[in-house]
Every structure is written in C-alpha cells, then in structure tokens.
Amino acid sequence: MNFVLTEEQIMIRNAARDFAQNECKPGVIERDSHMTHATEQIKTMGELGFMGMMVDPQYGGSGMDTISYAIAMEEISKVDNSVSVCMSVQNSLVLYGIEAYGNEEQKAKYIPDLATGKTIGAFCLSEPEAGSDATSQSTIAEDKGDYYLLNGTKNWITNGKKAGTYVVIAQTYPEKRHKGINVFIVEAGWEGVTTGIKEDKLGIRSSDTSSVMFADVKVPKANRIGPDGFGFKYAMKTLDGGRIGIAAQALGIAAGAYELALAYSHERKTFGKPINQHQAIAFKLADMQTKIEAARMLVYRAAWLKDQGMDYATAAAMAKLYASEVAMEVTVEAVQVHGGYGFVKEYHVERLMRDAKITQIYEGTSEIQRMVISRSAIKGKTYLPIEAKSEEAPV
Ligand code: CAA
C-alpha cells in the first residue's frame, strides 16, 4: 500500500491551496453575507485548469486522475464552498457524463468551453416533486420526429442562472418509468429556457442556486446523449462520481475548520495556558483529526477505484455519507473550540458549519447513501481488502 502523493499531486495541491488562499479567501465573508457570485474566482479557476480536471487534454481538459481532483476540491473547500460546488458540478456532473457517454460531435462542440470554464454547466435532475425519488420525473421530452419538445421545471439547480449549458434529465415514455428517461444537452440561449430567483440559503450562499424552467423548448435529436431511454442510468452513473466530489468538499470543510481550530487553540489562553493544554480541548482536536483522516481514506479509496476502472458506486456513497457527517461534527466542534469568537463571521468557522449541512443533502442525502450502501451490503458484497482487479472484487 502506498499513501505517498505523487509529485504531480503535490503540485496540484499547492496550486489549489494558493488559489484558495490568495484568490478566494479575500472577500469570502462579504460574498457569503451578500450572496454575491464569485464570478472572477470561478473564471480564474477555469484558467488554472480546475474546471475540467479529468477531461482528456484533446478536449481542453487537464487530463488528471480523480485523486488529484479530490485533493484540489479539499483545498478549495477549506476556504470557499460556493466556488468549490461550482467546480464539483462542472467536473463531475456535467463534463464526466458528456465525455463518457456523448458522441464525438457532442464532445467536440460542448467540452472545450466547459473544460476551460468559459462556459458554466449545470445538471438538471431534481424537480419540485422529485428529489431523492429521482425516477419520478415530470419534466417531459416529447419525441416530435427530428426534435424533442421539452417542458418542465427543475429545482435547486447549482449554477442555474449562470450556466450556458444544461444537462437535462426528462421523461419521454412515462409508461416505461425509469427506462423511458432521456438526457439532453440544452443551451441556455434557446427559446423557452428561463430561470427563477437565486435561492437565499443557509450555506454556500454565494453559489448560484435557482430553478430552471423549460417551456416548449425544441431540443434537436442530435443533443440527446446515449441511446433512447439511457437517461436514468446516465444520471446514476454521473452521480456516483459526483458523490466523490461532494465527499471531497465535505472533507475540505472539516479539514479547514480543524486547521482554524488548531491555530486558535495555540493562540488563545485560559487559566494561564494555551487552551490546547487543557484536556477538554486537546481531546476534541484528537477526535476531529481522527475522523478527518478516516474520511480522507474513504474519499481517496473511492477516487482510486474510479481511476482503476473498477466499480466505485458504493465506495463513493460511503465516502460521501461519512465525510459529510464528519464535516457537520467537526465544524460544530470547531465553533465550540473558538467559543464566542466562533459565533461571529470574522473567524470563518461559523460559515464552514453552515456550509457543511448541504453536503448531507445534495447529490443524494445521507439517507439515500445509506440506501445505496445497504442494498450492496445485503447482496453480501465485501469491500476490503481488494484482492484482484475485477468487477466483482470491490464494490
Ligand atoms: N449505476 C448504474 N445504474 C444504476 C445505479 C448506478 N449507480 N443505481 C441504480 N441504477 C439502475 C438500476 O440498476 C436499475 O436499472 P434496471 O432497472 O435496468 O435494473 C435502475 O437504475 C433503477 O434503479 P433502482 O431500482 O435502484 O431505483 P430506485 O428508484 O430505487 O432509486 C436511488 C435508486 C439510488 C435511490 C436513486 O433514485 C438516487 O440516487 N436518488 C437520489 C438522487 C440524487 O442524488 N439527487 C441529487 C440531485 S443532483 C444535485 O444535487 C446536483 C447539484 O446541483 C449539486
């Protein structure tokens, strides 16, 4: 077993850390308070290659592995989760699927601008009445011969208002249920595409979340991804990778809050000594660090399985479940270590605590992750050690 990062991974970590500390940290509190979109930071993120990290360089991507992506996500998420959620959606939910399942024409047309961040993408699956129960799609894509007529509303869409390209899941044959669902690339400028107001949220407040409406939108047949009826599988496979991104985000939130709490525990003195010399605080730090390390192992393992071309669906669900719960626990403790200072915005930990909550909800709630994991467990699948590179070995 090798836990040593490669030189390239260290370089990426340092570049992501510099970007987060130098470009994202200044103004992060104000952007959060006023719900101001981090437009400049996201543009720079694209120029640095973080928007298409795993995309083949022939399409303008950075051609990196999933572990590098998780490392970069962690560093950026220590600082600004409104920026890192945009990065996660772009890489995992938008680009991965188009590259893996799109045809050559679709890839050549849409990937280069998305991979360099010139165009922002959004993934439109959730609906007012279909969140966890993703098969119950009411958005309809009616087959009209040489085009589909798209009608419906999507909710909670990250990058909803800023996106130029939407990946949209919609039902074509309701009687076939999930086997009748399709997936399309839809351009924001097409007639009939509109967006709702920017949501006023508990956390990731500067990220762009809105509903997206489709009213008699004509989608050319050429913009359907994959075979007829492939849309639900596409969404599930895409979300498997997305869950690694959000797990890495949750890990970054926890690690960022821990680093702040540790630094504060050296500076702050009570009863004549730094607070980390009191067992009450020292043991909190021990628990926080242990949970973060365990979460990191699950995130890296899921990323590694994906890079090996092995089945990673359950590993990704475990990573997201555990890392998001750790993010919540660690940020609450980080606020506690800071005492009253933790309750004010200037010290950053209260924002990380608010940001942590969404990682237990989006891209599959903790309850959905438990569904995915338990279904695999009940089938008798085992996880470690991995003994062979076969689809059957790990899950
Ligand atoms: N990979 C490939 N295929 C999969 C799969 C996977 N990971 N998971 C399920 N499938 C297939 C099944 O094999 C089945 O196919 P067959 O009928 O051919 O056998 C089909 O999909 C239906 O599967 P299920 O019977 O398991 O479906 P279900 O209704 O029980 O639901 C679920 C499964 C896992 C709960 C799914 O509905 C789910 O993941 N729900 C949560 C959705 C979600 O994560 N939403 C987040 C929105 S995106 C977001 O948050 C974005 C953002 O902007 C940040």
Residue 183, strand partner residues: 169
Omega of the bond leading into 385 within 30 degrees of 0 (cis):
yes
Q: What is the pLDDT of residue 298?
A: 97
| Averaged pLDDT for residues 91-96 | 98
As for ligand 1, residues whose beta carbon falls within 6 Å of it are: 89, 93, 123, 125-126, 132, 134-135, 157-158, 178, 232-233, 236-237, 239-240, 313, 362-364, 368, 371-372
Instruction: Give 394 Cα–ligand 1 centroid separation in angstroms.
Output: 19
Instruction: Give 295 Cα–ligand 1 centroid separation in angstroms.
Output: 23
Q: What is the pLDDT of residue 53?
A: 98
How far apart CA 320 and CA 311 sit, in angstroms, is 16
Hey, which of 93, 127, 236, 362 would you mutate to test ligand 1's pocket, going by the most ligand atoms within 8 Å of its Cβ? 236
How far apart CA 255 and CA 86 sit, in angstroms, is 19
pLDDT (tens digit per residue) in 276-322: 999 999 999 999 999 999 999 999 999 999 999 999 999 999 999 99
Does position 393 have pLDDT exceeding 70, yes or no? no
On whether the CB atoms of residues 53 and 94 are closer than 8 A, the answer is no
* Residue 126 C-beta-side C-alpha neighbours within 13 Å: 19
Q: Is 129 a residue of the active site?
A: no
SS3 3: coil
| Averaged pLDDT for residues 7-25 | 98
On whether the CB atoms of residues 82 and 38 are closer than 8 A, the answer is yes
E strands, the chain, in order: 121-124, 140-143, 147-158, 165-171, 181-187, 193-195, 209-220, 269-270, 273-274
Greater model confidence, 381 or 36: 36
| Averaged pLDDT for residues 328-332 | 98
Does position 1 have pLDDT exceeding 80, yes or no? no
Q: What is the pLDDT of residue 223?
A: 98
Does position 248 have pLDDT exceeding 50, yes or no? yes
Least confident of 104-118, 137-151, 297-311, 373-387: 373-387
Q: Check 74, 75, 333, 363 and give the catalytic one.
A: 363
User: Closest Cα to atom 27, ligand 1: which residue?
Assistant: 135
Instruction: Give 264 Cα–ligand 1 centroid separation in angstroms.
Output: 42
Does position 395 have pLDDT exceeding 60, yes or no? no
| Averaged pLDDT for residues 340-355 | 97
Q: What is the pLDDT of the chain when averaged over all its residues? A: 96
Categorize the per-residue pLDDT at 189 as very low, low, confident or very high, splitting at 50, 70 and 90: very high
pLDDT (tens digit per residue) in 112-128: 999 999 999 999 999 99
| Averaged pLDDT for residues 181-207 | 98
pLDDT (tens digit per residue) in 217-241: 999 999 999 999 999 999 999 999 9
Q: What is the pLDDT of residue 2?
A: 84
CA 120 vs. chain centroid, Å, equals 14
| Averaged pLDDT for residues 35-62 | 98
Q: What is the pLDDT of residue 370?
A: 98
Beta-carbon contacts of residue 94 (< 8 Å; ≥ 6 apart): 114, 121, 122, 123, 165, 167
| Averaged pLDDT for residues 49-61 | 98
Instruction: Give 65 Cα–ligand 1 centroid separation in angstroms.
Output: 24
For helices 81-88 and 66-77, what crossing angle results, to 10°? 160
Q: What is the pLDDT of residue 389?
A: 59
Does position 89 have pLDDT exceeding 60, yes or no? yes
Residue 217, strand partner residues: 150
Q: What is the pLDDT of residue 246?
A: 98
pTM for the model: 0.96
Radius of gyration of the chain (CA): 21
Helix ranges, 217-312 (H): 231-267, 279-307
